[in-house]
């Protein structure tokens, strides 16, 4: 965000306004909000956000055990999605083995 703040401050300002709108229109309690943000932060691989929402969830009344459950849930759901996606991509594995692959990335 520091780079954006320096070279595209209008974008950062709009993000701040969006955050404020989320706060004003929130229909869920703080702990649920922090749980969701924690899970999304894990999937986004954002260390600062994981730390922020881990602490935010604790401050909102979550336990470390609950957060560990959410971590496990995110990992399990991600592995299931990865498994399904990879099987879809490799559905024609026999053709790939035979050298008949058109991925659009090889020249």
Structural domain contains residue 83: no
Structural domain contains residue 91: no
Count: domains in the chain: 1
Structural domain contains residue 48: yes
What is the end-to-end Cα distance of the chain in Å, rounded? 36
Segments forming the whole domain that contains residue 68: 2-76
State the CATH number of the domain containing residue 7: 1.20.1290.10
Q: How far apart are CA 35 and CA 54, in angstroms?
A: 8
Q: At what angle do helices 30-44 and 47-59 cross, to 10 degrees?
A: 160
pLDDT of residue 35: 98
Structural domain contains residue 85: no
Structural domain contains residue 101: no
List the pLDDT tens digit at each of the 107 positions of the chain: 689 999 999 999 999 999 999 889 999 999 999 999 999 999 999 999 999 999 999 999 999 999 999 999 999 999 988 899 889 988 888 888 888 777 776 55
pLDDT of residue 2: 85
Q: How far apart are CA 46 and CA 51, in angstroms?
A: 9
Structural domain contains residue 84: no
């Amino acid at each position: 965000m520091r780079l954006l703040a320096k070279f595209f401050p209008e974008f950062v300002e709009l993000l701040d306004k969006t955050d404020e709108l989320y706060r004003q229109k929130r229909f869920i309690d703080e702990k649920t909000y922090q749980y969701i943000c924690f899970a999304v932060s894990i999937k986004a691989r954002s260390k600062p956000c994981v730390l922020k929402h881990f602490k935010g969830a604790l401050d909102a009344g979550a336990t470390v055990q609950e957060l560990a459950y959410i971590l496990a849930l995110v990992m399990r759901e991600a592995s299931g999605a990865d498994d399904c996606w990879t099987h879809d991509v490799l559905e024609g594995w026999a053709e790939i083995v035979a050298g008949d692959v058109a991925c659009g990335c090889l020249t």
